[in-house]
């Protein structure tokens, strides 16, 4: 027997049956109907939020490792008798951080100059400066400064980083220096 639209009565369209099943499955998942999902025989999908959590943890780990670069201390042996200055690298690209540390007796105040101009190294709240006629001065703790950073100056070639001891009368005496070579342009 034929039906009006050309199909045989009792015959099922497999494509239509599958489309209806998928539609029912989507609706059951949308409303979290566990019984219908079990009746259809569909696997119950679990959330994959743990993948996002793992990805975020890995990303934070990478940021911690990459962000920690450059934060290492400049190696210098503390000396409570002889002032000295050490740099993280003797060659620095212009505009990049230039890291240095100062060692010497704890009593006096010190000013650091770059090519004769006083500089104020950044070490967060680990160091405090006092204004003097020679420039911003600091005192050492346990004969050693924290790692201080300034921006490397423009101008290729050698630049002199010097340490001045500030006397009680405000006068200064150079007690240590080192040369840093600047390369490239910022």
CATH number of the domain where residue 146 is located: 2.60.40.1930
In a domain, 119, yes or no: yes
Whether residues 60 and 120 share a domain: the answer is no
Q: What is the pLDDT of residues 78-116, one digit of tens each?
A: 889 999 999 988 899 888 899 999 999 998 999 999 999
Predicted pLDDT of residue 69: 47
Is 8 inside a domain boundary?
Answer: no
Start-to-end Cα distance in the chain: 87
Q: Do both 22 and 88 map to the same domain?
A: no
Let me know if residue 3 belongs to a domain: no
d(CA 92, CA 72): 16
Cα–chain-centroid distance for residue 135?
31
Are 58 and 94 within one domain?
A: no
Full residue range of the structural domain in which residue 129 is found: 84-183
Q: 88 and 44: one domain?
A: no
Supply the pLDDT for residue 44. Answer: 62
- Do 158 and 123 share a structural domain? yes
Q: Are residues 52 and 92 in the same domain?
A: no
110 within a domain of the structure (yes/no): yes
Domain-located, residue 79: no
At residue 20, the pLDDT reads 84
- The reply to whether 63 and 88 lie within a common domain is no
Which two tokens mark 123?
């070490």
Q: Are residues 50 and 99 in the same domain?
A: no
Q: Are 77 and 166 in contact (CB under 8 A)?
A: no
- Domain identity same for 179 and 88: yes
Residue pair 145/102 in contact by the 8 Å Cβ criterion: yes
Q: Is the distance from CB of 37 to CB of 28 less than 8 angstroms?
A: yes
- Taking 70 as the pLDDT cut, the residues of the chain under it are 1-11, 42-47, 64-72, 185-186
Asked if 122 contacts 114 with a C-beta cutoff of 8 angstroms, the reply is no
* One domain, residues 120 and 177: yes
How many domains are contained in the chain? 2
| Nearby residues of 77 by Cβ (< 8 Å), 6 or more positions away | 103
Whole-number Cα distances in Å, 135 to 70, 119, 123, 168: 27, 8, 17, 15
pLDDT score, position 170: 87
Same-domain check for residues 179 and 126: yes
pLDDT for the residue 70: 47
Contact 173, 122 (CB under 8 A): no
Indicate whether 61 and 95 sit together in one domain.
no
Q: In the prediction, which pLDDT does 37 show?
A: 76
């Amino acid at each position: 027997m034929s039906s009006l639209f050309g199909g045989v009565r009792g015959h099922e369209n497999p494509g239509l049956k599958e489309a209806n099943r998928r539609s029912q499955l989507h609706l059951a998942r949308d409303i979290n109907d566990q019984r219908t999902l079990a009746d259809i025989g569909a696997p119950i999908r679990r959330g994959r939020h743990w993948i996002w959590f793992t990805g975020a943890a890995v990303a934070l780990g990478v940021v911690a490792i990459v962000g920690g670069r450059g934060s290492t201390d400049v190696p210098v042996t503390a000396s409570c008798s002889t002032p000295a200055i050490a740099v993280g690298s003797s060659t620095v690209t212009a505009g990049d951080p230039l890291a240095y540390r100062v060692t010497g007796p704890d009593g006096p105040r010190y000013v650091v100059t770059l090519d004769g101009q006083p500089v104020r190294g950044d070490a967060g709240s680990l160091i405090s400066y006092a204004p003097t006629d020679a420039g911003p001065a600091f005192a050492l703790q346990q004969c050693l400064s924290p790692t201080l950073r300034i921006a490397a100056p423009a101008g290729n070639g050698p630049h002199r980083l010097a340490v001045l001891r500030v006397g009680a009368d405000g006068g200064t005496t150079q007690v240590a220096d080192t040369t840093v070579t600047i390369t490239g342009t910022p």
